[in-house]
Amino acid sequence: MTAPDGSRIADELEIHRLNALYNWACYERDAEAYAACFTPDGVYESGNTGSRNSGHEALAAGIRAAADSAWLMGHVTADSLVDIDGDEATQKVFVLLYRRESTDGDNAFFASGRYQDSLVRTAGGWKYSHRTSYIDRSQLPWARHAPRSPAG
């Protein structure tokens, strides 16, 4: 139900924007922007492998490791369902993933899945406190990182 002042709509739009900021940070391999999507003690967890990164430094380190790879990945999220309860929220959202093996390679769809999120309203806006990904395939290609060529 939407509050008469539209605040629920504003909250949902801000959470949708957070999803977009996350997607762009991953695509651009921007470690600081990626970590900023989470609370200081936020957690990213793979529901497939159980691996997890907790806290801004560990979150940023994961993106920095990907930056050393020639392998590029983009996210498209859709059909977000958000439930807000005061300053906390949950979200489930579909994700489609595409990749390129090199900067001049062809894009290829490689997986679908979903995120299950817990979010918290902070002074800086909505942030993920816990984000879990569930990818619809058994072998996750980002488990390997193709080394970047010296020419970059």
Neighbours of 108 (CB within 10 A): 10
Q: State how far the alpha carbon of 124 is from the alpha carbons of 35, 53, 59, 128, in Å.
A: 13, 21, 18, 12
Give the tens place of pLDDT for each residue, 88-116: 999 999 999 888 776 677 778 888 999 99
Give the tens place of pLDDT for each residue, 51-90: 999 999 999 998 888 777 666 778 899 999 999 999 999 9
Q: To 5 degrees, how large is the angle CA 46–CA 134–CA 14?
A: 90
The DSSP bridge partners found for residue 12 are none
Structure tokens at 50: 């159980």
What's the pTM value of the predicted model, to 2 decimals?
A: 0.84
